[in-house]
Every structure is written in structure tokens, then in C-alpha cells.
Amino acid sequence: MSDENKNFGDKAEDAFDNAKESAKEFSEDAKESAKEFSENAKKTADEFTAGAREAFSGAGGENKKILVGILAIIFGSLGVHKFILGYQKEGFILLGVTILAYATSCLGIGLLLVWIPYVIGLIEGIIYLTKSDEEFYNTYQVGKKPWF
């Protein structure tokens, strides 16, 4: 039985060495795969970043037509579109009229005033979006035409 136990011990030791070698190879393959994956992920992230920069470079650039037009329609009563175009005085006028309208709405006067800045923002948003890019740029950013 001693020889038989010795054979089992040798076989177990060989199996352990084989398992150890297989685990070592597997870990090396896993490291290699992880390295390739991280390199591909980094490359993809760099490409995405470059594409995003290219796509969004026009958003804050010279022509702000789409941004200002949508903001004028949505937040026109607050004058956000005026502030983005650089018209601080006109933006504060719209904001002030809106605040005044809400403050006096309990008196009934504000109910009439509350629609004025909304209508102005809606009309300006539509005008901004229907103009060509060049016409918008020349009229509102270079020519500094503050109203309509």
C-alpha cells in the first residue's frame, strides 16, 4: 500500500503542478486580455472625446442661433436668451417685468403683465430660428439689434 500511496502522492503532485502551470498561463492570458481591453477602451474614449469636442465646438462658438432660439421659446420671459447674446439691459428688463408681473398677480394687474414677456420670448425665438445663420449672426451678434 505504501507504493500505491506513493503513486497517488506523485500523481497528486503532478496534478497540482499542472494546475499551477495552467493557472499561471490563464492569469497571463487574462492580463494580456485586460491590457488589450484597456487599450481599446482608452482609444475609444479618446475618439469619443475628439468627436464630442468637434460636435459641441459650435455650441458656444460664434453663431448661437439654435441655442438662443430654443431658450427664447422656453425661458423667454426670464430673458435668458438676451443674456446669452450679451444684451444685459434687455435681459434685466424682461426679468424685471416677469418678477413684477408675478408679484402683482394677486392684484389682477400682474395677470395682464405676465403674458407680455412670454409672448416677446416666443416671437423672438421663432424669429431667431427662422433666420439664416449668416443673417442671425450679422443682425444680432455683430449688429447688436436688441429687440425683434
d(CA 15, CA 29): 21
| Count of domains forming the chain | 2
pLDDT bracket for residue 138 (50, 70, 90)? confident
Q: Are residues 69 and 138 in the same domain?
A: yes
Which grid cell sits at 131?
433666420
pLDDT at 53 over 50: yes
Q: Are residues 71 and 99 in the same domain?
A: yes
- Give the range of the structural domain holding residue 18, as residue numbers without chain letter: 1-57
Model-level pTM? 0.55
Per-residue pLDDT tens digits for 75-126? 888 999 999 988 999 999 999 999 988 888 888 777 778 888 899 899 999 9
Q: With beta carbons less than 8 A apart as the criterion, state whether 138 and 125 touch.
A: no
pLDDT (0 to 100) of residue 61? 47
Angle at 126 between CA 125 and CA 130, to 5 degrees: 120
- Name the 3-class secondary structure at 57: coil
Q: Are residues 27 and 69 in the same domain?
A: no
Average pLDDT over residues 33-56: 68
Q: Are residues 71 and 53 in the same domain?
A: no
pLDDT (0 to 100) of residue 9? 66
pLDDT (0 to 100) of residue 105? 85
Which grid cell sits at 83?
443674456
- Residue 136 exposed, middle or buried by CB count within 10 Å (0-12, 13-18, 19+): buried
Q: With beta carbons less than 8 A apart as the criterion, state whether 71 and 126 touch.
A: no
Q: Are residues 73 and 38 in the same domain?
A: no
Which grid cell sits at 11?
500523481
- The mean-pLDDT minimum among 25-34, 61-70, 107-116 falls in 25-34
Amino acid at 126: I
Q: At what angle do helices 65-75 and 115-130 cross, to 10 degrees?
A: 160
